[in-house]
Amino acid sequence: METSPHIGGGAHPTPKTYVIIAALLAIITAIEVYIFYIEALKDVLIPLFIVLSMVKFAMVAMFYMHLKFDERLFSVFFVGGLLLATAVILALMTLFALLPDRPSSGTAAESQSGHGETVVDTHGETTPSDTAHTDASPDVPTLEIGPVADSLMFNSETLTVSSGAEVVLRFTNSATTQQHNWVLVQDGAKDEIAMAGLTAGAANDWVPEDTRIIAQTRLIAPGESGDVSFTAPSAGTYQFVCTFPGHGATMFGSFQVNP
């Protein structure tokens, strides 16, 4: 067996071993990317990823960083530092979980003056709100919604209105860090519209041009609120979704219009 001498420890393995390790690392990475797209594994994905990446980590440390062939003391230093870092991160996460959320106080008052929302008519054309719209907005909205604290979810899964009703929906963003919007779309369209919102960009409040959009609020900053007025469409089921990047997967709900 061909080995190379190494200072401070045993012998390095042959180039063949290195190539095998490299191939194994590539295979594990391919598996990770593949299972990322398997819907059935969704719930066990995170533990699976952690295990697979730990295997890769250990392989690189043992062979490429030759800890396996070095003095034991080096491994102790390496693993010791790793454990210390893990402990610090866990302690930080515990702190975050234990301390109460403190919403920023300054922004809530500003939101009261910010009622000039973008209003969308039932044909899906965006029109900036004018004085007529602002006057039409009553102080008491027909529907109220917001996020669940800082999680990416709406606090109502279902909203119900009657067809033809003049609806005023107020979105109150109680989150401390996340921006959100509320976009009413045709049933089944929420994922496509959320995806398209990515390319629409922040300048358009992450809302794309799409005829399946019935109504939308502007992008609402943490601590602020915004209204949208629209006429309830024909009876049926619709969807609402937050199109801020990454939110649409969990932040959506069903909009029922009764006859």
Residue 194 tokens read as 């959320």
Q: How far is CA 210 from the centre of its chain?
A: 22
Burial 131-161 (b: 16+ CB within 10 A, else e): eebeeebeeebebbbbbeeeebebebeebeb
- In the complex with another protein, the residue whose CB is nearer, 189 or 194, is 194
Report, in Å, the least distance between residue 36 CB and another protein. Answer: 6
Report, in Å, the least distance between residue 139 CB and another protein. Answer: 31
- In the complex with another protein, the residue whose CB is nearer, 173 or 229, is 173
Report, in Å, the least distance between residue 172 CB and another protein. Answer: 19
Report, in Å, the least distance between residue 198 CB and another protein. Answer: 5
Strand partners, 180: 220
- In the complex with another protein, the residue whose CB is nearer, 27 or 45, is 45
Q: Return the residue matching tokens 């959009």.
A: 213
How far, in Å, CA of 32 to CA of 37, rounded? 9
- In the complex with another protein, the residue whose CB is nearer, 17 or 160, is 17
* Residues of the shown chain interacting with another protein in the complex, contacts defined by CB under 8 A: 4-7, 12, 14-15, 18, 29, 32, 36, 42, 45-46, 49-50, 52-53, 56-57, 60-61, 63-65, 152, 177-179, 198-199, 201-203, 206, 244-247, 249-250
Listed in sequence order, the DSSP H helices in 60-129 are 72-98, 106-110
- In the complex with another protein, the residue whose CB is nearer, 12 or 115, is 12
Report, in Å, the least distance between residue 202 CB and another protein. Answer: 4
Which are the contacts of 107, defined by CB distance < 8 A and separation ≥ 6?
Answer: 221, 222, 223, 224
